[in-house]
Amino acid sequence: MSSSANPVIVPEARYGGVTLNSGADEQSALTAQRTRIHMANPNLGVEFGYRPGYILRLHLKAHEGSAIARGKSQLIVPPRRLAEISFREVTEPCFWPVSFPIDQLRFELPEAGLARWQQDHRWAKKALLALKSGSSTMDNTLLAFGRAIVMILEEPERASQFFVDHILTGLCTYLFESYCSSSKRSVIGGLAPWQERRAKDLIESRLGSDLTLNELASECGLSVAHFARAFRQSVGETPHRWLMRRRVETAQWLLVNTDMPLVLLAVECGFADQAHFTNIFTRLVGASPGAFRREKKSMMKAGTA
């Protein structure tokens, strides 16, 4: 389908819903947003690239080849397959005509955000991302990051900032480990005993409320990225996994020792709602909260009979 010579230019963000972000300010925040346009409209140009850096796109729908307008030049974009990940380095705003329906997940990694991330990772300070602009790949790990973000975007009210930070900073770590011109890195040690104890104490005190990676890292005197890596090395689990497991363990005790309704118990243990609680509990325990309660209380009655 041919495009209009003078399309109406609209920011791509207008065609996305919720924007997930991880960062201290607008210029350096790592972001993720889903772009969905259901009908082709060659008279419409979708603009992106307001912050210099990299844009990664997970293509949730295959599409034909197209072109991107950058200044007075045009960049040819080849056809993309379902689940293909494409990379684009941007230094100035660009736009592309909507010549076909679009469904993409867009990760924006601005230069300021990447620089801040590298400052937190000594092994990556002199590294350069080897992401050729316009190239693409099929990468199951990047696809897994994308699927996690899609799930959050479908039910954003259930996602904590803690988990969003975990996913977006984890994406940066993976890119620098797997798509870097310098793969050598020094090993970063785990948390000091006092840091591990303080982090776990803070998690315990906030099981029933929201908690961010930034709060945990600040409590230990570390950057978010350094803390996340050090915690995993010391504990054997990511901070988010540890938090979820402790919430489930607390819920197990309450299920056995109280008659609290599941909807209230879910909130008490820090879950977004009963459905979220049931999903996480079942995944980690292997039984639903209701089934777990019935089985344990039945065993207790049999033991006292």
Contact indicator for 73, 92 with CB cutoff of 8 Å: no
**Region 203-220: what's the mean pLDDT?**
87
Over residues 53-66, mean pLDDT: 92
Q: Going from the N-terminus, what domains does the chain have, and what CATH number goes with each?
A: 8-178 (2.60.120), 187-236 (1.10.10), 238-305 (1.10.10.60)
Kindly indicate the confidence band of residue 182, based on its pLDDT and cuts at 50, 70 and 90. low
**Cβ–Cβ < 8 Å for 3, 42:** yes
**Global confidence as pTM:** 0.65
Cα angle 133, 46, 138; round to 5? 40
Other CB atoms within a 10 A radius of the CB of residue 24 amount to 12
Burial category of 96 from C-beta neighbours within 10 Å (exposed 0-12, middle 13-18, buried 19 and up): buried
Does the CA dihedral 182-92-113-239 come out positive or negative? negative
pLDDT (tens digit per residue) in 234-257: 888 899 999 999 999 999 999 999
pLDDT band at residue 187, thresholds of 50, 70 and 90? very low
Only one residue has tokens 């897994």, namely 144
* Best CA proximity match to 209, nearest among 250, 237, 169: 250
What's the pLDDT tens digit per position in 27-36?
889 999 999 9
User: Can you point out the beta strands (E) in the chain?
Assistant: 8-11, 20-22, 30-37, 41-48, 53-59, 66-70, 73-77, 85-90, 94-98, 102-110, 136-137
Query: Does residue 183 have a pLDDT over 50?
Result: no
- First vs last C-alpha separation in the chain: 77
Tens digit of pLDDT for each residue in 113-125?
888 888 877 767 6
CA distances from 207 to 90, 204, 265 (A): 41, 5, 12
C-alpha span between 145 and 155 (Å, rounded):
16
Q: What is the pLDDT of residues 137-174, one digit of tens each?
A: 999 999 999 999 999 998 888 788 888 998 999 999 88
- What's the mean pLDDT in 74-95? 90
Rg of the chain, C-alpha, whole Å: 23
Residue type, 251: A
Q: How far apart are alpha carbons 244 and 179 in whole angstroms? A: 30
> What is the token pair recorded at 36?
């969905």
Inter-residue contact 109 to 172 (CB < 8 Å): yes
Does the structure show a pLDDT above 90 at 297? no
Which residues pair with residue 105 across a beta bridge? Answer: 34, 58
